[in-house]
Amino acid sequence: MDSVKNYINENKDRFIAELIELLKMPSISADAAYSQDMLNTADAVKNALEKAGCDKVEICETPGYPIVYGEKTIDPALPTVLVYGHYDVQPADPIELWESDPFEPVIKKTDIHPDGAIFARGACDDKGQMFMHVKALEYMVKNNVLPCNVKFMIEGEEEIGSGSLSWFVKNNHEKLKNDIILISDTSMLANDTPSITTGLRGLSYVEVEVTGANRDLHSGLYGGAVANPINVLTKMIASLHDENNRITIPHFYDKVEELSQAERDEMAKAPFSLEAYKKALDIDEVYGEKGYTTTERASIRPTLDVNGIWGGYTGQGAKTVIPSKAYAKISMRLVPNQDNHEITELFTKHFESIAPAGVRVKVTPHHGGQGYVTPTDTPAYQAAVKACQASFGKEPIPVRSGGSIPIVALFEEELGSKSILLGFGLDSDAIHSPNEHYGIFNFLKGIETIPWFYHYFVNK
């Protein structure tokens, strides 16, 4: 296994060149205009898995975008690691804020990435991180050090809710049987501070529509006499938080797990600089639920946020109008034990109940999912710890993340499998934002760490 560093040194230029080819493919699952690119990307992932040494690779058709599935079985008596990742990416917009074309990858040095980072949509989330597993497999197969069986399941709908993967998992229990699921689709604290993600938040996402009169009205003739849906909607939204920034939906916090002081103290040991945090975001103060630290607010506490709001006249100049309709997209990040369906119901009931007479309210649920916590007292988690020690020379810190990968809870429910969230991105890598990038250091460190995970998972 000590040969992994050499193998990476000899092959890193090719690894990077191959990743760049994958990043050129605009696999945007949210936009049907890219559906052919999605299929092409699935093909490219299939070819990459074949080249890396999987002996059975298939494109699995689904009601939506295909899932790329691959296997390498060396001995059915040995354990099986199931690698999950996604080949779809977020839309690139706002495109004008990119310094280079999102699908023409370029390598640039940054303060945080002095060895260079690849700038492209999907560089970190998740093509770059998924591809580390393909290259780690290549190393293990070529050098005869793969210590167990491996399965790959790379989906194309993570960014739009994993609808087809849920269907696939429910229908393929036997095929997907495994001893542990390994995922690199999260972040770590810093390049010199390895960490392992031990929790993900759940998600409830809804769209709301407020309707007033049956048509847009002259705001002079009717203003003041009928409900303005935008005025009403913004007032309703404002009422969803109280003066302590707690969410006012009745029973919203009923199932929230309160961490003990000891657990919170443990969390507070992870390095975090509020000053650096504020500086990086160009804000003079943080904002959030009273009684919790910034780290806690962004990981172990539930939230409610408006993601977008629209209605009325937003064109040039002024148009005097009372719009007939107003809309908003609202997401709630949930913590373990909060059930996303239940929260969507509580939201809907409450939102309907606070609507004043004179408007009608419609709530439409989008996708969602449950949160997840990885137990740390398992051989699999300990293998990840030892793997980081081997590659970084440092003990990794357990960190609860604020992000969501809803399918992880479903893996546990359907397959009875736990997941190890061994991510190598940084929060500053601008995933979902313009100028997304992934450090070359991070990409190569991931490839180096993964074989150690296999090693320690099998040789406990």
| Contact positions vs Mn ion (CB under 5 A) | 125-126, 185
- Return the range that interacts with ligand BES (CB under 6 A); candidates 173-181, 184-192, 312-320, 346-354: 184-192
Residue 149 or 197: the one with the smaller Cβ distance to ligand BES is 197
Q: Whole-angstrom Cα distance, residue 68 to residue 456?
A: 27
CA dihedral 444, 445, 449, 451 (to 10 degrees): 10
Q: Give residue 377's Cα distance to chain centre.
A: 24
Give the nearer residue to ligand BES in terms of CB position, either 139 or 411.
411
The residue among 370 and 391 lying less far from ligand BES, judged by its C-beta, is: 370
Q: What is the CA radius of gyration of the chain?
A: 24
Q: Where does this chain touch ligand BES (CB under 6 A) — which range of 222-230, 255-263, 309-317, 399-407?
A: 399-407
- Nearest approach, Cβ of residue 198 and Mn ion (Å): 17
d(CA 314, CA 435): 27
Determine the Cα–Cα distance for residues 299 and 344; give it in Å rounded to an integer: 20
Q: Of all helices (H) and strands (E), which one includes residue 328?
A: strand 325-334
Residue 164: helix, strand or coil by DSSP?
helix
| Cα–Cα distance for residue pair 321/315, rounded to 1 Å | 12
The residue from 18, 71, 125, 436 that contacts ligand BES (CB under 6 A) is: 125
Choose the contact partner of 346 out of Mn ion, ligand BES, none; CB within 5 to 8 A by kind: none
Residue type, 290: K
The single residue among 185, 383, 438, 448 that binds ligand BES, judged by CB under 6 A, is: 185
Verify cis geometry, omega within 30 degrees of 0, for the bond prior to 126.
yes
For residues 169 and 109, what is the distance between their CA atoms, to the nearest angstrom?
Answer: 40
Closer to ligand BES by Cβ: residue 149 or 204: 204
Contact call for residue 122 and ligand BES (CB under 6 A): no
Indicate which single residue of 122, 128, 336, 406 sits in contact with ligand BES (rule: CB under 6 A).
406
Contact string 190-229 vs ligand BES (x = CB under 6 A): -------------x--------------------------
What are the helix (H) ranges across 322-438? 340-353, 379-392, 407-415
Residue in the structure block whose two tokens are 């916090």: 253
Q: Which CB atom, from 54 or from 397, has the smaller least distance to ligand BES?
A: 397
Q: For residues 18 and 185, which CB has a smaller minimum distance to Mn ion in the complex? A: 185
Stretch that binds ligand BES, among 33-41, 71-79, 278-286, 398-406 (CB under 6 A): 398-406
List interacting residues with ligand BES (CB under 6 A).
125-126, 158-159, 161, 185-187, 203, 367, 401, 403-406
